[in-house]
Amino acid sequence: MQRIFQIDGEETECWLGHDGSRFVLNTPNGTVACQLDPTGLPGGYTLRAKGVVRELRLAVGPEATFVHMNGRTYEVGRADPAERLAGSDGGTGDDRLVAPMPGVVVSAAVKPGDTVKEGQPLLVIESMKLETTLTAPRDGVVAEMPFAEGDSFGLKDILAQLAPEEE
């Protein structure tokens, strides 16, 4: 079974298997026999892999796994390659406005169904005490505006979606 993991912006495709007695993670760097056992602490585990034993704390979020190990915290993004392939027909990058950073919607200038021109202001957001106006990436029709005035959004959330272009 495959997963794509993302650490510090770098993606690695891995395959997890089980040889009857233990788990084996196949990475581009080689094969890692590994074992994870709970310690009893909330989110506490002992990881055995690559000949080392590490105590860690771990929490599984919707898109990333957070790992506290060796006194530091790491974020490991997870994606299922099959879902990623299936989800890719939802529109191209050109169709959406993706949040460059977390923030709040100050005002929305358009609503779903509106026809917009390239460069037309769609919404004003506030992030890190700065207001930014986001504009339409191309001519088209607004399909979705998932956030209303006053709503908070996260990094990479889709703030506006245009209907796919008809060829």
Does 79 sit near other proteins (CB under 8 A)?
A: no
Does 7 sit near other proteins (CB under 8 A)?
A: yes
Does 50 sit near other proteins (CB under 8 A)?
A: yes
b/e per residue, 10-36, with b = 16+ CB within 10 A?
A: eeeeeeeeeeeeeeebeeeeeeeeeee
Closest approach of other proteins to the CB of residue 87, in Å: 16
Task: Choose which of 93, 128, 166, 167 interacts with other proteins (CB under 8 A).
Answer: 128
Does 154 sit near other proteins (CB under 8 A)?
A: yes
Does 71 sit near other proteins (CB under 8 A)?
A: yes
Q: Which is nearer to other proteins, 136 or 153 (CB)?
A: 153
Kindly list the residues in this chain that would bind other proteins in the complex (CB under 8 A).
1, 3, 5, 7-8, 10, 12, 14-20, 23-27, 29, 31-32, 34-36, 41-43, 45, 47, 49-50, 52, 54, 56-61, 65-76, 78, 101-104, 127-128, 150, 152, 154-155
